[in-house]
A and B are shown apart, each in its own frame.
Chain A
Amino acid sequence: MIGENFIRRMEEIVGKEYVRHSHADRELYSYDASLVNGIPGLIVFPGTTEELAEVQRAAHAAKIPSVARGFATNLSGGVITRDGGLVVALARFNKILSINPESRYAVVQTGVTNLEVQEAVAPLGMFFPPDPASQKVATIGGTVGENSGGPRCLKYGVTSNHILGMKMVMANGEIVDIAGPSFDPPGYDLRGLVVGSEGCLGMVTEVTVKITPKTESVITMLAIYDEVPHAANSVSAIVRAGILPLTLEMMDNTIIKAVEKGGPCGYPQDAAAVLIIEVEGMVTGLKEQADKIVEICMATKCREVRVAKNQAERDLLWKGRRGAFGAICNLSPNYLVNDGCVLRTLLPEALERVVAISKKYGCPVGNVFHAGDGNLHPLLMFDSRNPKELEQVHKAGVEIMELCAELGGTISGEHGVGHEKQDAMHFIFSGNDLNTQQAVKLALDPGNVLNPNKIIPLPAAGKDKLPLTEPTILKRLGGAKAAGVAEAIASIKEARSAKKPLRVVGGGTFNGIGNRLAASVVPLATDKMTEFIEYDSDNQFITAGAGVTLAALQEKLASHNQWLPVRPPYFTTESTTGSIVALAAAGPERQAYGAPRDMLLGLQYIDSSGNMVTTGGKVMKNVAGYDMTRLLTGSLGSLGCITEATWKVSTKPECCHMVGATGSLSNCNAAALKIIISNLLPVSVVIVPQGADWKLLVGFEGLEMVVPSQIERCSAMMVLAGLKPAGETSYPLLTGGHGDLFTGIWQQPTVLQADVVIARVVELYEGLAKIAQPDNLLLDVACGRVHAGFTKLSAAQWKEIDTLASRCQGHACLVKAPDTFRNEVDLYGSPRREWKLSHLIKQALDPERMFAPGILPGRV
């Protein structure tokens, strides 16, 4: 497929020494850490984004499939080309471009390893939470490609939760910048979509990662068990008790032996299983949390809990855990690792059945996994030199994926689908789900040249779509059967035949949001979708109809001392959870608790042809397929009618306190910036006008035992910055500490939300004041966000504000504006190149523009 001419062209672009195609070279690029193989036609090593773009342009023109490659440690065949295609090795993208601790982000090239990022930010007291066990060798590109997880993800979430933006080369060689250091840019959540897309949507060359302050202290424990189910029970019991450890990792006896054989790491060889449990946080109260964990472990039949006495002991335990996969070669030459996810309360059953499967196929199994997330890693051992064993192990692997699907989980929690799990996608997704995902892929890569024929099962020969089958194994509740859904489907079908576009409505508060619609629309009510479809407090998730109000949801959760940690500004008691999804709305606690994108595990929606589409699932980690959940979150109802959402919920904090201090704006800001990068763990950091002065308000939520010490230290920092203490108050959990301020802003006819990098919030405000003095104002410093209400704003002023926000590395949008104004302008400001991608996706998923036409940025 690759001819001499193409090779010459590549040599022209990147230089002869960076183009390889000898027989040996091709063999060297025919594998990754999975069992999938394929000999590529050519390997190129571009050195810059521009070179890569040119390479990709040429490949696109010649219709040559290409795949981006980090260090090829993925476990799903992600970097294998089976079509004799082009491997684009990104090893030369090995620079860290900038580190901005004050704004909590860093920009790195994608060939930098995860560990190099950690080492670069550590001296600043920060870290990058995703920590795959392979972090020494996993590149940031690969981590983004697979949406990798790791032990710490129990507390901090997976890669996607920590990626702010990227520079990417598209299939046709175009370079686009997607999102950036400021939160939540307008348009679809493209960075969410790209993370975990396994190199099928674009080749990323630079990533803006969010970095997080390290906590003050950590305690590492090794809990030792005589029986595996007891360890699994401890895991459930710890989470059920409302404790969120940093890590909850399990290793069984087989793995312990393999590891210890490679070098002693301090694991008792006679244990049936061990848990590595880490808790971190403020020194105050940490010991008590650890004690409580020990107590729970002992109550669930733990033999003994050992606490790492020093850094060296801790390092050893982690060294063993991180090397566990590699250590398998002490027992057997090869392994196949599955990474399905199940609800954590089902771990004992899952583990037992994995053993049965391993026996059935005669491949010994060892388990080392992220137990807290229910993310299994059975390592099935075999010798790849033996074809029979290879066949058996593949069968066992498939059966384990079936098991996970049967238990309501997913086929892949972090390693990706690639080639290896492609067919298993049918276990959990319907034909329509998969066709929809493929439509997204083809929207961005119409020629199907980027890492083609991966992830989504291939349709039968001669067909371009999969038949509309149901998932072969997974049974989902809700869906078309849930309350109010059948009616909505009927309305959509009807509207479609009448060619009348629709607008989905929730509680009504936000009917005016987004750009003015391009046509008159029929409202599509969700008010009947008020069912609580599933609530599993032990596994910390709830599935609720889109018409369930946030207030009702919180009430339901309160029965189990849980809550959904989101307080979207301007919400009323009428506002629905569906609208949180559609708007991706989050308040000042976004930096600490995350946005809806970080809490949504799965969705169901009705597409423009009136068919149900499901995204995600209900387990804590899920990388099966493209991240459609994030794509839909914040899509303003432009892609379909969301009927239900599955949320990850949290234990309620014991108390919420806010401490305030007054002074000049620059002093308030200086204190705020210090507090944000400190290890104090505030939940919100906000500055508001206070007469002629300013007031800094810092919120803390959590344990009664811990919060007072945080407040005390925070006050000291405020005083040190020259502020005058203004007392401390407690505030209600559900409405938060700033409800009145937001109400005030919303009363204005024009409401602005501008996002910039954290350190430039005040700069943005000062610029804003010169353009148009806001009548109501809240500076959400921790999120880099300005909320402002104006009695009057002209189109010319808006244009200036838009320019100003761009200058501060951010973006601005008007979440509320008078009709006359909306007729004139785009509420999302001047066009950005990345919007084109949103438009392509919109076109692919809603070709007839059935849903809210014109609402998107760019008025599409």
Chain B
Amino acid sequence: MTVLENYDAIAKCNKCGFCHVACPIFRSTGHESGVARGRLAMLRGIIEKRIEWNEELEDPLFTCLGCEACTTNCFGAVPTAELVLAARGEYYDKVGKKPAHRLLFEHLLPYPKRLHLAARAAAYGKNSGASKLANALGLLRIFGRDLPKAEGIVDKLPTSSFRGTLKPGTYPGKGEKLKIGYFVGCGIDVIQIEAGKATFAALQERGKSVTVINNCCCGLPPYSYGDIENAKKLAKKNLETFEGLDVDVIVTDCASCAAFLKKYPKVFKDDPYYERAKRCLPKVRDVVEFLYADQPVGATGQAPVGTYHDPHGAAATAQKVSSDKKVIVTYHDPCHAVRGQKIRNEPREILKKIPGVEYKEMAEADWCCGGAGSYALTHYELSQKVLDRKMDNVKKTNADLLVTSCPGCMIQLAFGIKRHGLKTRVVHISEMINYMETKK
């Protein structure tokens, strides 16, 4: 959709300003370009011809994390993230795309092998301290000015990928009948390999078989840069792969991938692939949903209303599980889980049931960590400000473990923990499940 086609949705913003409270970017910069009201005003300005398509739009269009916190706080539920994202595409057309985006979206992400190769090369550079190779390849420097500082984010890249060790294919499980497909997101594949292993183990516990899918990137990165064409290309490849699988469910342990896979029908609106996307949809599960449903008791949790800074809201509560040795655990909601898929209570319920865990809710648990996919790479300074706020909240819980369910968040959070010198460890919820299962 072009900006003009979204005029009605954009004009729905009546400038009340309520989105200011929750926008992590606005709270960091204090600049109107960073908040939904401002971003929408820009779009409206374009339509009403007060604003021209040029580089001045870069901040309003590209500093958005896409976290959708604004929408949650907006009574009209104006989908700012969506609207901004749609405008990014038009920005590329009218103002131009950076070669970096092209390299990543058109030449690396569609090809898992190339991505592995690139990552390995980069990892080699990092681990040996000779970052020349990585730089030559451009993987770590493709995004512009903030990137050199961002190198530290991915602390140590593994030298092998998840699917380098566990090749795509079907593996037997301990369960009785369920045939599970495991969609391996890029983040899990090349960086959070331990989390991938944990998920795989958890799936093996539950499924008759587990198929490690030979999928490519889900398409979210180009999509969130407004590059719908490349996003569709990736999505099509995946849909074709899915159709060739003999599985009952497709589980992924990346909240962003899960949210985007669920969005495929929307991506293919008015496209021949729409029907195929819709047919796949019912199979897709976030690993958190999957594990939660698998629990002995479990009604699906309803998201409580008004958790954002509600003036009369109840204070954070600490839940104690009786056990001699308690590990303090807190949970960070990935945007793509809490708002993207309305998953809020499930992970908490899972964690609270783990023996020996003292669950402590942190303030603003559902605020974006600032990772937002490659955001931390493209907007380093900003993303760090957002992260600092998150870390302050983590600190206050004194948690031993900071659990989440998105590899992107894990990278960002781990970086924050390191920078702030905390003792907290970041783990994927699958790793917690494994921990529980080893305890049994």
Asked if A292 lies at the interface with its beta carbon under 8 angstroms from chain B, I say no
Q: Which residues of chain B are near A383, meaning CB under 8 Å?
A: 11
One digit per residue, 1 when the CB lies within 8 angstroms of any chain B CB and 0 when it does not, for chain A 90-120 equals 0110100000000000000001010100110
A25 and B33 in contact, given A31-B15, A137-B20, A333-B12 (Cβ under 8 angstroms): yes
Asked if B440 lies at the interface with its beta carbon under 8 angstroms from chain A, I say no
Q: Which residues of chain B are near A314, meaning CB under 8 Å?
A: 312
Q: A33-B15, A323-B18, A334-B11 are in contact. List 4 more A-B contacts (CB 8 A).
A: A24-B59, A73-B16, A311-B314, A326-B76
Q: Which residues of chain B are near A91, meaning CB under 8 Å?
A: 30-31
Q: Which residues of chain B are near A325, meaning CB under 8 Å?
A: 14, 16
Asked if A318 lies at the interface with its beta carbon under 8 angstroms from chain B, I say yes
Which residues from chain A sit less than 8 Å from chain B, CB to CB?
20, 22-25, 27-29, 31-33, 45, 71-73, 89, 91-92, 94, 111, 113, 115, 118-119, 131, 134-137, 259, 262-263, 265, 311-312, 314-316, 318-319, 323, 325-330, 333-335, 383-385
CA distance A319 to B18 in the complex (A): 12
B74 close to A326 (CB less than 8 A) = yes
B21 close to A262 (CB less than 8 A) = no
**Which of B7, B17, B30 has a CB less than 8 Å from the CB of A45?**
B30
Q: Which residues of chain B are near A137, meaning CB under 8 Å?
A: 17-18, 20-21
A326 and B18 in contact, given A28-B33, A94-B30, A314-B312 (Cβ under 8 angstroms): yes
Asked if B417 lies at the interface with its beta carbon under 8 angstroms from chain A, I say no
Give the 4 A-B residue pairs with the shortest CB-CB distance, closest first: A91-B30, A329-B76, A326-B75, A24-B56
Q: Which residues of chain A are near B45, meaning CB under 8 Å?
A: 24, 27
**Which of B12, B17, B32 neighbours the largest number of chain A CB atoms within 10 Å of its CB?**
B32
Q: Which residues of chain B are near A29, meaning CB under 8 Å?
A: 32
CA distance A444 to B159 in the complex (A): 69
A318 close to B56 (CB less than 8 A) = no
One digit per residue, 1 when the CB lies within 8 angstroms of any chain A CB and 0 when it does not, for chain B 31-72 equals 111000010011001000011100011011000000000000
CA distance A72 to B52 in the complex (A): 24
B12 close to A24 (CB less than 8 A) = no
Interface residues on B, range: 35 or more
B21 close to A136 (CB less than 8 A) = yes
Complex: chain B residue closest to A318, CB-CB: B312
CA distance A311 to B315 in the complex (A): 11
A328 and B17 in contact, given A22-B56, A27-B41, A111-B30 (Cβ under 8 angstroms): no
CB distance from B357 to the nearest CB of A (A): 25
Q: Which residues of chain B are near A27, meaning CB under 8 Å?
A: 41-42, 45, 50-51
**Which of A71, A111, A318, A384 has a CB less than 8 Å from the CB of B11?**
A384
**Which of A32, A72, A113 neighbours the largest number of chain B CB atoms within 10 Å of its CB?**
A72
A sample of 21 inter-chain contacts (CB < 8 A) reads A20-B31, A23-B56, A25-B33, A25-B56, A27-B41, A28-B42, A31-B15, A45-B31, A113-B21, A118-B311, A134-B17, A135-B311, A262-B75, A262-B77, A265-B305, A325-B16, A328-B14, A329-B75, A330-B75, A333-B11, A334-B14
Query: Which residues 212-257 in B have Cβ within 8 Å of A in the complex?
Result: none
One digit per residue, 1 when the CB lies within 8 angstroms of any chain A CB and 0 when it does not, for chain B 69-90 equals 0000111111000000000000
Asked if B309 lies at the interface with its beta carbon under 8 angstroms from chain A, I say yes
Complex: chain B residue closest to A91, CB-CB: B30
CA distance A384 to B306 in the complex (A): 29
Asked if B142 lies at the interface with its beta carbon under 8 angstroms from chain A, I say no
CA distance A314 to B21 in the complex (A): 21
Query: Which residues 97-146 in B have Cβ within 8 Å of A in the complex?
Result: none
Q: Which residues of chain A are near B304, meaning CB under 8 Å?
A: 312
Per DSSP, chain A at the interface is: mixed
CB distance from A313 to the nearest CB of B (A): 11
One digit per residue, 1 when the CB lies within 8 angstroms of any chain A CB and 0 when it does not, for chain B 294-338 equals 000000000011100111111000000000000000000000000
**Which of B11, B15, B42, B305 has a CB less than 8 Å from the CB of A319?**
B305
B311 close to A262 (CB less than 8 A) = no
Per DSSP, chain B at the interface is: loop
CB distance from B87 to the nearest CB of A (A): 13
B17 close to A73 (CB less than 8 A) = yes
CA distance A326 to B75 in the complex (A): 5
CA distance A749 to B50 in the complex (A): 72
B16 close to A33 (CB less than 8 A) = yes
CA distance A613 to B220 in the complex (A): 66
Complex: chain A residue closest to B47, CB-CB: A385
Q: Which residues of chain A are near B31, meaning CB under 8 Å?
A: 20, 28, 45, 89, 91
CA distance A71 to B31 in the complex (A): 10
CA distance A315 to B30 in the complex (A): 28
CA distance A119 to B304 in the complex (A): 20
B309 close to A136 (CB less than 8 A) = yes
Q: Which residues of chain B are near A131, meaning CB under 8 Å?
A: 311
Asked if B13 lies at the interface with its beta carbon under 8 angstroms from chain A, I say yes
Q: Which residues of chain A are near B17, meaning CB under 8 Å?
A: 33, 71-73, 134, 137
Complex: chain B residue closest to A32, CB-CB: B15
A329 and B78 in contact, given A115-B309, A318-B311 (Cβ under 8 angstroms): yes
CA distance A119 to B309 in the complex (A): 9
Q: Which residues of chain A are near B16, meaning CB under 8 Å?
A: 33, 73, 134, 325-326
A24 and B51 in contact, given A33-B15, A316-B305 (Cβ under 8 angstroms): yes
Complex: chain B residue closest to A220, CB-CB: B312
CB distance from B375 to the nearest CB of A (A): 20
CA distance A91 to B28 in the complex (A): 10
A315 close to B306 (CB less than 8 A) = yes
Q: Which residues of chain A are near B8, meaning CB under 8 Å?
A: 333
